[in-house]
Amino acid sequence: MAVNRSDSVRYQENKSRARSLALELVEKYRTSYPFPYNKITIRNQKTRWGSCSKAGNLNFNFRIIFLPPHLADYLVVHELCHLRQFNHSEKFWQLIGQVVPDFMKCRRELKLINIRRI
């Protein structure tokens, strides 16, 4: 299936908006999580909302712009916490809970969203 030019332009606009949002939220939460990171990348992922690499790169799905604000916040906090705890251990969840006390509710809610339909 061919991608038409307007879809490509729309994707680039959404990607730019997503980068701005991700940068804004990372800076917002850097006071609570002042962990160094390398770079922020915006991607068109089919199954992931975000990720954090061992090199300290934060990756976010461009669809972050379509999330309710509390879920976009949770997503950014989740990836920032991976800069300190590169796992999903109890310490990791405690770190998230310092800023997002209802993180389990947010996690469940995010998992219910079909990323491919956005």
Give domain limits for the chain: 5-117
pLDDT for 5 beyond 80: no
pLDDT for 4 beyond 80: no
Percent of the chain clearing pLDDT 70 (strictly above):
96
Residue by residue, what is the 3-state secondary structure of 70-116? HHHHHHHHHHHHHCCCCCCCHHHHHHHHCCCCCHHHHHHHHHHCCHH
According to the model, what pLDDT value does residue 3 have? 54
Segment 23-58, tens digit of pLDDT:
999 999 999 999 999 999 999 999 999 999 999 999
Segment 51-71, tens digit of pLDDT:
999 999 999 999 999 999 999
| CA separation for the pair 14, 28 (Å, rounded) | 21
Q: What is the dihedral of CA 35, 41, 38, 27, to 10 degrees?
A: -40
| CA separation for the pair 90, 68 (Å, rounded) | 26
Class of domain 5-117: alpha beta
| CA separation for the pair 84, 75 (Å, rounded) | 15
Type and span of the H or E element at 25: helix 5-29
Segment 74-101, tens digit of pLDDT:
999 999 999 999 999 999 999 999 999 9
